[in-house]
Amino acid sequence: MKNSQLYKGSLNTIIMKLLEEQGRMYGYEITQKVKEITKGELNITEGALYPALHKLEADGLLDVEVEKVDNRLRKYYKLTEKGTTENVNRLAELEEFIKNIQTIVNPKLSY
């Protein structure tokens, strides 16, 4: 993956946004979804994803349900109530951040 350091810090917001949209998802599903949406340009590594999911869960923002499908384990995550609230804030912050960056690197597009 190129420009990987750029998305530092935005992974948590991406995860939460997808969970808000999809209701619930398991880890591997999240990586595939992001790959699909970005046409292969953004690939979330497992070493980044799983620790992030665990931290969000530990922080009370996600709930987890373990299921066995085709004899393979899946851990389905969904937003808690706290997570839903927090998601709104983080999305707002991300939008604000993007707006600021745009103002700097592409003044023409900012109005």
Applying CB under 8 A, the residues found at the interface with its own copies are 2-3, 5-10, 13-14, 17-18, 34, 37-38, 41-42, 91, 93-98, 100-106
Q: Is 108 in the site for DNA (CB under 7 A)?
A: no
C-alpha 57/C-alpha 105 separation (Å) is 35
| Secondary structure of residue 71 in the 3-state scheme | coil
Q: Report the site for DNA in 33-72 (rule: CB under 7 A).
A: 44-48, 50-55, 69-72
Residue count of the chain, please give it.
Answer: 111
Q: Measured from the CB atom, is 8 or 108 closer to DNA? A: 8
Going across the sheet that includes 25-26, the strands are: 25-26, 72-79, 62-69
Instruction: Kindly state the smallest distance separating residue 51's Cβ from DNA, in Å.
Output: 5
